[in-house]
Structure 1
Amino acid sequence: MRHQRGAAILTAMLLVTLVATLSAAALWQQWRAIEVETAERAHAQSRWLLQGAADWARLILREDARNTTVDHLGEPWAVTLQEAQISSFLGNTTEAMSEHLQGAYLSGQITDLQSRLNVLNLVQDGRVHAPTLLAFGRLFEALQLPADELMVLVAQLQIALAAPEAPSTGPAGNAPHPLLPRSTEQLGWLGVSPATISRLHDHVVVLPERTPVNLNTASPLVLHACLPGLDLALAQRLAQGRAQNHFRSLADVVQASGIAGLSLNDGMHSVGSRYFEVRVRLRLGSVLSQERTRMLREGLQVKALWTTREIPQGASVQ
């Protein structure tokens, strides 16, 4: 009898353990399903909000083109949107939506990509474009970057722009054909070191066609690089002066510089832009998301060329 009673107790304990294990597993699966559903919902909401922000930026750029072909840093598109609660923009008529977005915060900015030196300008019709090479040389010198890296960049760019099917002769024909980058971060494909890329990041750009530098939005360093005869001190004064009165034509630039013989041309210099970058950052609860969209404006048409989703430093992305 004692043996039978002990076996019954052991069986009961095993059954209790089994039930507890099954219950814990069921609870874990339920919790996991809720977590997955929450993450998917947050991801969908983030994508919707980021797309909406990009569309809003596209509208701003289109409306700007209705008013003038001159682009400068005093226009609405150039104002950085500091982090703000999305529900504060919705008003009282969308109370339900506002409550749903209480934890959503948005920030962003539009950058004129033609405020920078375009790497593709270095080569024209397969040959090195001397005025652009001079501008890059001045930039490298001002940033104290190695000139030999600029030469490597130009040589590799020529190869990358050459038609891949073009016949090659000699040992060089066996060398790998470098890929043509589409962003500054990819200049390593053309032999530029990470340290140099980091220093160049805010001053150069890779655009799919030749583009002039917008002298209304270029930094003093870029002004110094692309305007021969303009030292850094004069470039700084030129930038300060344009903050009060932006340039409406290239003639305004010559007059403001005080250099009568300043050489400008439409191929390298302008006062308007077509390429922009929209960067949007969203904080939805504990989740941070960031997207970067390159846009091309042709007249009143503004289209997205490509979008890159980025992970902000220290962010928790689901």
Structure 2
Amino acid sequence: MSMPKRPARHQRGVAVITALLLTTLAVTIVASLFWQQQVQVRSIENQRTQLQKQWILRGALDWAKLILRSDFNNVDYAGDPWAIPLADVRLDEFVENGRQDAEASSAVLSGYIVDAQARFNVNTLIRGGTVSPKDVAAFTRLLTNLRVAQAASLADATASYLLAARQPGALQPGAGSPAGGGSTAVIPGATTATTPATPNPPAAATGSASGASPAGPRMMPLTQFDDLLAVTGFSSDILARLKDFVTVLPENDTKINVNTATAEVLSAVVPSLALSDATTLVASRDRAYFKDTADFTNRLPATVQTAVAAGLGPLDVKTEHFLVNGKVKLNNAVLEIQSLVERPSINGQVKIIWTRET
């Protein structure tokens, strides 16, 4: 007995549906391939843009080093070439940014250099392997000038932290993540100088005779400004207030440049100098910079000159440490870096201490 044949119309319907399914599958596969290709192209473009931005900032950093090297002299003040900020400079003629010639491009570079020794270096709170009461008092006055609550407690806590960080067994820079969580920028061709290791002071009385680290959590030395968050009592709001007045330099014997320091810093580091008098002193400095520390002393109020007759402390009119800030915008992508550079007073050769993205 033969089976009944299916109608030709039913078979045509099945064929149409099958063809539609196959077409849909093919379109989906092709669309997926195009999407993957687009993602790969975008990824390559982003990598190229990031690399271009890093090379631009690397060139800007070399430029800043050249300016600092050429301006090497016995006095640094706000009228020096390094102190002139770099306004937005278009780099369209020098950078291939992937756009057509008819399209408007936006490769822009800007930056500025800051005298790091115009700010108070918290590492000076420890001198000779022990707490420096004079510097702790100066840091307390600075916090008071900036209207930070519990200034004395914060200054003491910072000194205690720094002293603990110098004990045997303390974490060294690079052994863990920075307290501030800042990211280090990998700039092509850039070299980061290694911070000289500070000799450890004698072990604390609580430590063992063999030099083992005392019990308790190990402290990491402060290397950047944001690391102050590791000190008990500091917060993001306090750091925002201290940003332009406090810094962290690798050496603990740096001096304040009286030609670039703010009135708040000068009032803190010069005993008996009121903030109002420091403001007047800064105004006179803007008209004629200090040629040396003797010139600075002669311009102090008479009462202050008598109070500091024994010595002004760690003050100078030249600088060895600078903060180089750079910003590049390329195709709506922005990259900012900050570098700490050192220009020793011996030979003036500029070297990079660290570079990080900000």
Which sits farther off after the overlay, 157-166 or 56-65? Answer: 157-166
- Distance in 2 of aligned mates of 1:212 and 1:178: 25
Residue type at the aligned position of 1:304: I
- Distance in 2 of aligned mates of 1:149 and 1:267: 22
**Partner of 1:108: helix, strand, or coil?**
strand
Q: Are 1:178 and 1:190, in contact at CA under 8 Å, matched by a contact in 2?
A: no
* Aligned match of 1:161: 166
Q: Are 2:226 and 2:239, in contact at CA under 8 Å, matched by a contact in 1?
A: yes
**Partner of 1:109: helix, strand, or coil?**
strand
* Aligned match of 1:114: 117
Q: Are 1:250 and 1:264, in contact at CA under 8 Å, matched by a contact in 2?
A: no
- Distance in 2 of aligned mates of 1:116 and 1:101: 41
The Cα shift of 1:37 comes to 1.6
> Deviation string for 1:31-57 (max 9, x for gaps)?
112211211111111011010001100
Larger Rg: 2
**Structure 1 runs (4+) greater than 3 angstroms displaced:** 99-102, 165-168, 262-267
* Aligned match of 1:9: 16
- Of residues 265, 289, 298, the one that matches 1:255 is 298
User: Is 1:129–2:172 an aligned residue pair?
Assistant: no
Within 5 A, what are the aligned runs for 1:39-50?
39-50=46-57
Residue type at the aligned position of 1:306: W
- Distance in 1 of aligned mates of 2:115 and 2:339: 12
Identity %: 33
Which sits farther off after the overlay, 185-194 or 263-272? Answer: 263-272
Q: Are 1:180 and 1:189, in contact at CA under 8 Å, matched by a contact in 2?
A: no
Within 5 A, what are the aligned runs for 1:14-33?
14-33=21-40
- Residue ranges of structure 1 left out of the alignment (5+ in a row): 311-318
- Of residues 152, 157, 174, the one that matches 1:152 is 157
CA RMSD, 1 decimal: 2.3
**Partner of 1:73: helix, strand, or coil?**
coil
- Residue ranges of structure 2 left out of the alignment (5+ in a row): 1-7, 171-202, 208-212
The Cα shift of 1:168 comes to 5.9
- Distance in 1 of aligned mates of 2:286 and 2:76: 12
Q: Structure 1 residues 118, 167: CA separation in 2 closer, same or farther (over 3 Å shift)?
A: closer
Residue type at the aligned position of 2:336: Q
- Of residues 82, 89, 98, the one that matches 1:84 is 89
User: Is 1:305–2:310 an aligned residue pair?
Assistant: no
The Cα shift of 1:244 comes to 1.4
The Cα shift of 1:297 comes to 0.6
Within 5 A, what are the aligned runs for 1:1-318?
1-65=8-72, 68-87=73-92, 102-145=105-148, 146=150, 147-164=152-169, 166=203, 169=206, 173-194=214-235, 195-209=237-251, 210-259=253-302, 260-261=305-306, 262-263=308-309, 265=311, 268-298=314-344, 299-310=347-358
The Cα shift of 1:294 comes to 0.5
TM-score w.r.t. length of structure 1: 0.88
Name whichever structure is richer in helix by fraction: 1
TM-score w.r.t. length of structure 2: 0.78
